[in-house]
Chain A
Amino acid sequence: MAGKSGRSINNIPESPIKKLIFGWEGILILVFVGVNIFCKWFSEYYNMFNLLRQMPVYLAEVFLMLVMAFILVMGEIDISVGSTVCLAATLACIISNAGAPFPLVILATLAVGTCCGLVNAFILTRFPELPPMIVTLSTQIIFRGIAEIVLGSGGSVSVANTAGFKAISGKIGSVPYILFLVVLLAVVAGIILGRSTFGRKVYAIGTNRLAARYSGVAVEKIRFIIYTLMGTAAGLCALFMVASSYGANTTTGTGFEMDAIAMAVFGGISSTGGKGNMIGGFISAFIIVCLRIGLGQRNVNGQVILLIIGVLLIAAVALPNIFGSLRKAVKK
């Protein structure tokens, strides 16, 4: 029953490199270069050595972005991650202080994060009609609430045996371990999102959940996996947070969810679902990190830095739309 008309349909794709350069990623690379030139000019302390030294605290949040990208691509959101980081970091300290060997502490921290993710995943898949925003808003309050209870009236805990945490914040030369880990995980996450059948299904869910379901995509299973992994990523982030402060307190991780979302969205991953890729998110994460470090080195007011990030974020989403409609108007 081959086609009667014998009409041929082209199936040769555009060069992916061309797409990358002329797409949003190309702009991001330019911005990244621009930001670095600017920082170099702006701050006399901006150099590779200092950059690598200062980076680890920010990199911990990139772990969150890697999974948040999946959630945003699905057209959903998880605003509980900051609290998950807090709870996981708190329990990591307590477990460590209870005398557990460091590998066990690592496992336990990841497990705590995963459990928090599981809670979200369970509620969201059991009651798919609930909006993720409101579910994760309540778990945001709950997880931090638990951490507050565990921490008690002191509100903070510090690790007695810092050896393990010191080890993971170590360096090879001047490159911190965490940078290797971030790059490695970003490559893995990028391949899963961009190249695997799993990633394709995630895009399908974000584009049209109903059609995805009719096409045999196990929507709830995928959501379950991703929300759980979001928790695991928060656990990983918590581990490095503890490594930077040898402790945890009730404010650990506040606002991390917004930072992670900002990195992803600036990277072109639409919060409405179905769009964007890991390359964009990854470059934008480094743009934000470099900008923060560069401005911070000259003691620019923290609020001003947030203001600039706010403007960048809005510009990144609004400008393409504005140019698009301008172009349309010109064509007319």
Chain B
Amino acid sequence: MKLKKLTGSREFLLFIIVIAMFAIVSIINPAFFSFKAVTDMLRNNAVTLVMALGMLGVMLVGGIDISITSTLALSGMAIGMLLKYGHIQSTLLCFLITMGIGTVCGALVGLLISRAGVPPIIASMGFMYIYRAMGYLISHGGEWASAAALGSFKNFGTDKLLGLSKVIWVIIACYVIFFIVMKWTRIGRQVYAVGSNAEAAEVSGIKVKNIKLMVHTVMGLLAGLAGSLQVAVYASAMPNMAQGGEMDVIAACVIGGVSMSGGRGSVVGALLGALIMAMIPKALPLLHIDALWQNMIKGVMILAVVVINVILQRIANRNALARREM
């Protein structure tokens, strides 16, 4: 019974896809089948992986946030400039600053959505412009902070702890915390409750507005964290970094089975979705597909995944109906 439930789940299907993609790519190019290749991939996609968690929370309450990469750029640029002009040196402080800025940015979006009743797409679109512009403004209209300016902070991107990159430890920590919070704590279940039926949640004493504010604030926090990771991993901060990356994050969640209308989705799903998104650009060049074709194939794959999912769901429904006794 339990096994059947597991194999029938969306996550299991995604897991198979991830394994299959990994296997195919590894067969064609054995170089990919290595610990290093996998950790490199994770490190290079740290930003998407981390933000997918925040987006999971936002989408679970039926929202969406397209301002995240602007938040990332603003917070990343802030520490970039602070480091460049020697105001700070501490790596920990950098992380705290980006997360602080991110939290404020996210909270503003959340306030607008939960308190002023602005639709999430519109609120986050407005802030997408605003935060990006603020990123430019604090960079004195477009300065970069490059490797040399970042001092010891950039070592965070390359340092290892117990044989694993620190960046990957951050990802693991985020996923473990989220997994526990979403599955085993009241607040996590309240997020699901709000997404599943906001009206009912209100009646059973859940402060729906606060939950919405919270998920956006957490989203901001993670976007800020991603700002630190982006600057550390690529050892550079520029005001236009990660522009358009929010769509990758949303796509990762959707592929991972997070419903856009709320209530459905899991941390494992978000992880697998983000991994698939990470593997597509990784796999295509390995398969010797011309760089020009990458975007189209990526789009077709996203579309295929969602369409196939709908078709499978329909078949499952039909079979369930056919089994019904009459």
Given the complex, which residues of B lie within 8 Å of A313, measured CB to CB?
Answer: 122, 125-126, 129
- A146-B298 Cα distance, complex, nearest whole Å: 11
Q: Which A-chain residue is minimally distant from B70 (CB atoms)?
A: A310
A130 near B133: Cβ-Cβ < 8 Å: no
A134 touches B (CB below 8 Å): yes
Find residues 281-332 in chain A having any chain B CB closer than 8 Å to their own CB: 301, 303-304, 306-307, 309-311, 313-314, 317-318, 321-322
Report which residue of A129, A153, A261, A303 has the largest number of chain B beta carbons within 10 angstroms of its beta carbon.
A303
- A131-B64 Cα distance, complex, nearest whole Å: 12
- A322-B118 Cα distance, complex, nearest whole Å: 10
Report which residue of B123, B127, B261, B302 has the largest number of chain A beta carbons within 10 angstroms of its beta carbon.
B302
B299 near A140: Cβ-Cβ < 8 Å: yes
B303 near A311: Cβ-Cβ < 8 Å: no
Pick the interface stretch among A93-101, A102-110, A223-231, A264-272.
A264-272
Q: Which A-chain residue is minimally distant from B119 (CB atoms)?
A: A271
A133 touches B (CB below 8 Å): yes
Given contacts A304-B133, A310-B127, A314-B123, contact A135 B293 (CB under 8 A): no
Given the complex, which residues of B lie within 8 Å of A139, measured CB to CB?
Answer: 299, 303
B92 touches A (CB below 8 Å): no
Nearest-neighbour CB distance to chain A for B78, whole angstroms, equals 16
- A317-B298 Cα distance, complex, nearest whole Å: 34
- A36-B169 Cα distance, complex, nearest whole Å: 54
A134 near B306: Cβ-Cβ < 8 Å: yes
Q: Which of B112, B141, B293, B298 contacts A301 (CB 8 A)?
A: B141
Q: Which A-chain residue is minimally distant from B126 (CB atoms)?
A: A314
A29 touches B (CB below 8 Å): no
Nearest-neighbour CB distance to chain A for B279, whole angstroms, equals 16
B117 touches A (CB below 8 Å): yes
Nearest-neighbour CB distance to chain A for B294, whole angstroms, equals 8
Report which residue of B112, B118, B298 has the largest number of chain A beta carbons within 10 angstroms of its beta carbon.
B118
Q: Is the interface of A mostly helix, strand, loop or mixed?
A: helix
Given contacts A265-B122, A304-B133, A306-B133, contact A134 B260 (CB under 8 A): yes
Nearest-neighbour CB distance to chain B for A56, whole angstroms, equals 23
Counting chain A residues whose Cβ lies within 8 A of the other chain, the interface size class is 35 or more
Q: Number of B interface residues, CB 8 Å?
A: 42
- A265-B129 Cα distance, complex, nearest whole Å: 15
A184 touches B (CB below 8 Å): no
Given contacts A145-B298, A148-B295, contact A318 B118 (CB under 8 A): yes
A183 touches B (CB below 8 Å): no
B296 near A318: Cβ-Cβ < 8 Å: no
A271 near B298: Cβ-Cβ < 8 Å: no
B129 near A306: Cβ-Cβ < 8 Å: yes
Report which residue of B117, B123, B261, B298 has the largest number of chain A beta carbons within 10 angstroms of its beta carbon.
B117
B37 touches A (CB below 8 Å): no
- A77-B66 Cα distance, complex, nearest whole Å: 14
A38 touches B (CB below 8 Å): no
Name the 3 nearest CB pairs between A and B, nearest first. Answer: A145-B296, A141-B299, A310-B129
Sample (19) of A-B pairs whose CB atoms are under 8 Å apart: A138-B251, A138-B302, A142-B296, A142-B303, A145-B295, A153-B292, A262-B125, A271-B121, A304-B133, A307-B129, A309-B129, A311-B130, A313-B129, A314-B118, A317-B118, A317-B122, A317-B123, A318-B118, A321-B116
- Interface, chain B (partner A; CB < 8 A): 64, 112, 116-119, 121-123, 125-130, 132-134, 136-137, 141, 247, 250-251, 254, 260-261, 292-300, 302-303, 306-307, 310, 313
For the A-B complex with A134-B302, A138-B300 known, give 19 more contacts whose Cβ atoms are closer than 8 Å.
A77-B121, A133-B64, A139-B299, A139-B303, A141-B247, A141-B296, A142-B299, A271-B121, A303-B133, A303-B137, A307-B129, A307-B130, A311-B126, A313-B122, A313-B129, A314-B123, A317-B123, A318-B112, A322-B116
